[in-house]
Amino acid sequence: MTHLLTLEELSAAEITGLLDAAAGYLGVGRASPKLTTLAGKVVANLFFENSTRTKISFSLACRRLGAETLDFSPSGSSTAKGESFIDTARNIEAMGIDAVVVRHSSAGSPKLLTQHLSPRVSVINAGDGAHEHPTQGLLDIFTIRQRRGTVAGLTVALVGDIAHSRVARSNIHGLTKLGAKVIVCGPTTLVPREIATLGVEIAHDLDAVLPRCDVINLLRVQFERQRTGLFPSVREYAHLFGMNGDRLALSKPGMLILAPGPINRGVELTPEVADGSNSVILDQVTNGVAVRMAVLAKLCGA
């Protein structure tokens, strides 16, 4: 494996290998000392879109493996002077780097970098438009497996803005490869019919599917990627698709509640659900560092 662009292109064995490796990195740098696996390596974080969790998580993962990091964000950079995406990346490459972690609003930008940078530089997709977000998919699956021991045979609902969510696509590919049943549930305008070709069940009534779910992953409405008018109001969305105490009462006991974050309290879920005992939202964040260590070590380690 040289790059990590999608979960679509990974096999079940490759995904399981990364999850197993991640389990070994939990607690490194906290309960146990930092490692030197990537000593002497330089990882550039190129974030052309906003990020809290993913960017900090990759930086911490690098440091816990002994790598140096470079952080780039377009504000304050020469992007504002008209420098192109590829020229920016090639200039940072010229300073001597081993890997690039890239987030961009255009689907396919990480793949484009693999065609313009030296083949010695690993490219890791940290979210490209509405396409994929493979490390988020891996950390979601890792968290499910941590709680349930396995993923095969579980029913997982992805709820919300399926059309514009890169997290949805990475979850669908990863979960179905590992043998989970995936239901995508949202307003008709936010669930493209073609998604059924990926082997998922389509639903528009959350209350009807909830009793069958072992896990639900609550996706944020991606207002920044939408044209307007895809649903009448945020209030109506919350009424039909928001997870709340009443819906929890309809669910299997112990159903896991995931959300990639950022969460909008009162929209995708109520505070009682976000902070309640079914929620593993902060476990996902903790696990994300270990998952990214596994990816970086696999791609750039000796």
Residues that bind ligand NCD (CB under 6 A): 53-54, 127, 133, 136, 166-167, 220, 260-261
Nearer to ligand NCD, 186 or 261 (CB): 261
Q: Which residue is nearest to ligand NCD (CB)?
A: 220
Q: How far is the CB of 227 from ligand NCD (least distance, A)?
A: 18
Contact criterion met (CB below 8 Å) for 254 and 278: yes
Dist CA 170 CA 64 (whole Å) = 25
Dist CA 249 CA 254 (whole Å) = 11
What Cα–Cα distance (Å) separates residue 117 from each residue in 63, 83, 98, 273? 24, 16, 11, 44
Dist CA 67 CA 99 (whole Å) = 10
Q: How far is the CB of 53 from ligand NCD (least distance, A)?
A: 5
Q: How far is the CB of 260 from ligand NCD (least distance, A)?
A: 4
Nearer to ligand NCD, 41 or 292 (CB): 292
Nearer to ligand NCD, 133 or 145 (CB): 133
Nearer to ligand NCD, 187 or 260 (CB): 260
- Sheet of 122-128, strands arranged across: 68-72, 42-47, 99-104, 122-128
Nearer to ligand NCD, 35 or 285 (CB): 285
Residue found by looking up tokens 């919350």 in the block: 238
Q: How far is the CB of 48 from ligand NCD (least distance, A)?
A: 12
Q: How far is the CB of 102 from ligand NCD (least distance, A)?
A: 13
